[in-house]
Structure 1
Amino acid sequence: MNFDLSEEQKMLRDAAQKFLRAEYRFDARNQIVASASGMSHEHWQRFGEFGWLGLGLPEADGGFGGGMLETIQVAEALGAALVVEPYLVSAVLGAQAVARAGTAAQRATWLPGLVSGQRIVSLAHTEADARHDLAHVHTSAMAKGGRWVLSGRKSGVLGAPWADGFVVAARTSGTVSERRGISLFLVEAHTPGVQVAGYKVYDGSRAGDLQLDAVVLGPDALLGMEGESLGLLEHLVDLGIVAACADALGAMGALLRKTGEYVSTRKQFDVPIASFQVIQHRLVDMFAAVEASRSLVLMAALHAEHPDAATRSRAVSAAKAAIGERARFVAQQAVQLHGGVGMTEELDIGHYFRRLTLFCNLLGSTDHHLQRFATLRAVA
């Protein structure tokens, strides 16, 4: 099997890196984070113009017909630049939900705006006491008079303050944690009864809690088959994890490069500390962690559309757990080698540390995915 990137994939990666290095420098990024909205809609629409937001969507829906191999090229560049705009949230989780389960009318309504950067849609599937169990859904959807009435609360909804709409997981039948009975619904953010309590996340991005108080939706709000959406939800989250792993890889690579530059200029005893053997050993260990993570990201991306769900999820959890351990190691080494300045607000090293710390618990913690991998391997 040829693991080399195609010329198109290399061009995509190089173009993303070039733009972000020029237009998304650390000082500009800090201004975006400190702004009232917390994101740059101008940049987001530029991402749409470049085609980044439609990479994984079918050409028939205005996308570019690519897959996770293309998506991870952009995601890695976004992680290296500490981009806070909701690429994972909307371009992967939200857009893929609509593209995979939506009717022709739903796709026509939502996907053009998602591809162009005019709209943002967020996946609202987590609840406060779920503990990474996707089947643990309290939020209810009741059929009344040909309509749906949704009630419940979703917590930790990524990009919630920016979203024009939500893909909400709600239970139409069954009991909490039962695999059957979970449905997905498309909910406009301005629908009566929808309330978002937004907040800033540890890495500077935004999330929020979504309150649904007897939200009345038409029959066309149902996304996919009633009561049969857990499998799709699991697949969406796996796709999101692959993109998140690529983002973390970008952040890890940036830390390695910046740390190497720092120790080459920081002097002690009138010589650069990079000349000390112990420092060289630590840099080599960081390099090994980054390159191992690169292989794991590629492995997970190649399994993202595997026809066997267990095989796909096993590969994704293996990558998430292993990269999580390496991300923590690289981040800690970078901070330590920078000394006291490593955690200052003025230096980007501490911000990379925060992003990677958040990654370790994003869409399931490292421990959760280690346990998930062990469970799936045991039944294989």
Structure 2
Amino acid sequence: MNFDLSEEQRLLKDSVRRYGADHGDFTAWRARVERGEAFDAASWRRMADLGWLALTTPEEDGGLGGGPVDTMVVAEAFGRYLMLEPYISACVIAPVLLAAATDEVRARFMPSLVEGGVLVSLADAEPGGRFDIHRIATRAEVVEGGYRLTGEKSHALDGASADWFIVPARTAGADDSEGGISLFLAPAKAEGLTVARSRAMDNRHNASLKLDGVLVSGESLIGRLGDGFGLLRQAVDHGVVARLAEAVGAMDAVHEMTLEYLKTRKQFGQTLGSFQALQHRAVDMAIACEEARSMMYLATIALSGDAAERKKVISAAKARVGQTSLYVGRQAVQLHGGVGFTEELAVAHYLKRLIMIDMAFGNADHHRAELAASLEPGAVAA
């Protein structure tokens, strides 16, 4: 697939790559993880100074008004260097949602997002909802001056560090209906909101929420009351494609590490790379990386197209990248031998990250089922 970057995008790619090479030392990364830090706050400020946090924010809100390709370029580097900063949650998903908020809310939040001064996380999943973002049992009741939120959220990406949460809640309809969903902004310190923080296997600090009659103001509503699913779907699709780019970056990095290991590690007096069977496995890894990159490009283009077609393409891409990424990650660990399973070697951490990316917003099995359902005769796309 021919996917040429513009001059500005090539410069952005070079800048992000240089930053990762300069600040992506694995020893320092492990030290931060062992200290229990969610991410490097100093690095986050530098990213704001470089303008990366402003890429997807509309120009009228103080951002750069960039598109999906710009996001792809940055997210790919995040994957290559295992960066832990909450870029996808705070600077990809949140701006898509907040763009539909009131002028007052946008004026309050968008400049802070661009400057890295506030972190906003989408609480995207519920217990029992599996990967279906429309399965929402959390309820929002209209009260004087605003809304009362009651329910549970099982996952909020980077939610352990969030200052605010975007909470999808049901204002009408059955728990599995796409209609009747509304989106609300809730502060992390709101009365009645319990935030349970956790660290995932890839060292991302996420959260689950319990909302016990949390009161939010009327201006906290994002978009139209009861008509939030389309906006939620759009934001999640942007998050999915950014995660695909992150996976491709991680796959490239771990493939390169494996090739270097095969060239230098000796067995029976010969380098491992001299064994034909291992050469074939390395080539299969390279093919898988190229497959994933092509699907990432296709999904990135689809973000600007029709919603129904976008859903099919992104499901196809998420399914295939999930398969190829796990293949590459597992092959890398196996080809490194026993040391590949240790915490001291980077490849083990890349595999963990790829596993969690596959799980994010629906794993490969889920998206294959979604794609199959959309292709059935008479199927109506959501």
Please indicate the TM-score interval, normalised by the length of the shorter structure: over 0.9
Instruction: Return 35-44 or 297-306, whichever deviates more.
Output: 35-44
- The match for 1:320 among 315, 318, 321 is 318
Residue identity matched to 2:189: H
**Residue aligning to 2:101:** 102
CA distance in 2, matches of 1:37, 1:288: 36
**Residue aligning to 1:121:** 120
* Cα deviation digits, residues 12-34 of structure 1 (max 9, x gap): 11111111111121111112222
SS at match of 2:125: coil
**Residue aligning to 2:12:** 12
Instruction: Tell me how far 1:368 sits from its aligned partner.
Output: 0.4
Kindly tell me: are residues 2 and 280 of structure 1, through their superposed partners in 2, closer, same or farther at Cα, counting changes over 3 Å?
Answer: closer
CA distance in 2, matches of 1:2, 1:249: 17
- The match for 1:345 among 329, 343, 346 is 343
SS at match of 1:278: helix
Superposition pairs for residues 123-272 of structure 1, below 5 Å? Answer: 123-272=122-271
Q: Quick check: 1:121–1:164 contact (8 Å CA) kept in 2? A: yes
* Cα deviation digits, residues 190-224 of structure 1 (max 9, x gap): 22112211011010111111111111111101010
Residue identity matched to 1:136: R
Residue identity matched to 1:333: Q
**Residue aligning to 1:111:** 110
Instruction: Tell me how far 1:189 sits from its aligned partner.
Output: 1.3
TM-score by length of 1: 0.97
Residue identity matched to 1:355: R
CA distance in 1, matches of 2:216, 2:126: 21
Instruction: Tell me how far 1:2 sits from its aligned partner.
Output: 5.9
CA distance in 2, matches of 1:292, 1:68: 19
CA distance in 2, matches of 1:207, 1:73: 24
CA distance in 1, matches of 2:35, 2:67: 33
**Residue aligning to 2:356:** 358
Q: Does 2:298 align with 1:330?
A: no
* Cα deviation digits, residues 290-332 of structure 1 (max 9, x gap): 01111111110001121x2110011111110000000111011
SS at match of 2:319: helix
Residue identity matched to 1:357: I
**Residue aligning to 2:21:** 21
Instruction: Tell me how far 1:246 sits from its aligned partner.
Output: 0.3
SS at match of 1:204: coil
CA distance in 2, matches of 1:115, 1:154: 27
Q: Quick check: 1:160–1:210 contact (8 Å CA) kept in 2? A: no
**Residue aligning to 2:58:** 58
- Structure 2: which 5+ residue stretches go unaligned? none
- Structure 1: which 5+ residue stretches go unaligned? none
Instruction: Return 48-57 or 235-244, whichever deviates more.
Output: 48-57
**Residue aligning to 2:309:** 311
Kindly tell me: are residues 2 and 361 of structure 1, through their superposed partners in 2, closer, same or farther at Cα, counting changes over 3 Å?
Answer: closer
* Cα deviation digits, residues 161-196 of structure 1 (max 9, x gap): 100101100011112111111000011112211221
Residue identity matched to 1:315: V
CA distance in 1, matches of 2:93, 2:339: 36
Q: Quick check: 1:33–1:205 contact (8 Å CA) kept in 2? A: no
SS at match of 1:340: helix
CA distance in 2, matches of 1:312, 1:341: 41
CA distance in 2, matches of 1:4, 1:313: 24
Residue identity matched to 2:10: K
CA distance in 1, matches of 2:2, 2:207: 42
SS at match of 2:153: strand
SS at match of 1:125: strand
Number of residue pairs matched?
378
- The match for 2:370 among 354, 369, 372 is 372
CA distance in 2, matches of 1:112, 1:37: 25
TM-score by length of 2: 0.96
Q: Quick check: 1:33–1:84 contact (8 Å CA) kept in 2? A: no
CA distance in 1, matches of 2:341, 2:218: 51
Instruction: Tell me how far 1:71 sits from its aligned partner.
Output: 0.4
CA distance in 1, matches of 2:36, 2:247: 26
* Cα deviation digits, residues 70-114 of structure 1 (max 9, x gap): 101010100011111111111111222102x11211111111111
| Percent of residue pairs bearing the same amino acid type | 42
Residue identity matched to 2:207: G
CA distance in 2, matches of 1:50, 1:334: 33
**Residue aligning to 2:47:** 47
**Residue aligning to 1:86:** 86
CA distance in 1, matches of 2:304, 2:151: 32
CA distance in 2, matches of 1:120, 1:223: 17
Instruction: Tell me how far 1:65 sits from its aligned partner.
Output: 1.2
**Residue aligning to 1:287:** 286
Residue identity matched to 2:276: Q
**Residue aligning to 1:274:** 273
Kindly tell me: are residues 280 and 54 of structure 1, through their superposed partners in 2, closer, same or farther at Cα, counting changes over 3 Å?
Answer: same
CA distance in 1, matches of 2:124, 2:279: 44
Instruction: Return 114-123 or 1-10, whichever deviates more.
Output: 1-10
